[in-house]
Each structure stands twice: as structure tokens, then as C-alpha cells.
Amino acid sequence: MRILFFAHLKDVTGTADTEIKLGESLDADALWQRLIAAYPGLARFRGSVRLARNGEYAGADARFDDADEVALIPPVSGG
């Protein structure tokens, strides 16, 4: 799975993107646990960050697998 980080989350993780191997399909809660285990600094942003799966905001029942591109979307500020 390819994971993308934007804005201040790049500073938190020290990278703009990374690859992780899930080996199974996960729901959002389980994916967040994996992400926070890899990047503990993400924990405090979890409440404000939305997950996108393959370029679309992920619904509450979304599942994620290794073929997906997942983006962590912090509060946006365009315009």
C-alpha cells in the first residue's frame, strides 16, 4: 500500500510517502493503528485527518488493502 502525507503531516512523519505491506484487508481503525505504530506523531492528528482511498474520501465502512493508494488529508486550506 502506498501512503501519502501532505502539509504538516510530512513534517510529522519525515516523508511525503511510504509503502507498507498489510497482507490483509483492514478497516480504517485498524489502518490507523498500523500508521500510528509506524509514526507515533500521527496519533494527535487522527481526529482531524480524513483518509482518502484511491483519490476519494473513504467512507466509514471502507476497507483498505495493499493495492490501494491511501492519502492522509489534514484540514484543507485552499483558496
Partner 1 sequence: MQMQIELTSRPIDLCRELPRELAGAAGAAVEFQGIVRGKENGGAVAALEYEAYPPMAERVMRQTVTELGRQHPCLFVRVTHRVGVVPVGAAAIHVVAAARHRVEAFAMVTKFMDRLKQDVPIWKVRALGRPEFAASKPQ
Which range of residues in 4-12, 24-32, 36-44, 60-68 is near partner 1 by CB under 8 A?
A: 4-12
Residues in the chain: 79
Q: Would you say 36 and 47 are in contact if contact means Cβ atoms under 8 Å apart?
A: no
Instruction: State the number of binding residues for partner 1 (CB under 8 A).
Output: 15
Q: Would you say 72 and 15 are in contact if contact means Cβ atoms under 8 Å apart?
A: no
Binder to partner 1 among 23, 47, 59, 78 (CB under 8 A)? 78
Is residue 6 at the binding interface for partner 1, with CB under 8 A as the rule?
Answer: yes
Q: Would you say 25 and 63 are in contact if contact means Cβ atoms under 8 Å apart?
A: yes
Q: Which residues, numbered 54-73, are part of the site for partner 1 (CB under 8 A)?
A: 55-57, 71, 73
Which residues form the interface with partner 1 (CB under 8 A)? 4, 6-8, 52, 55-57, 71, 73-74, 76-79
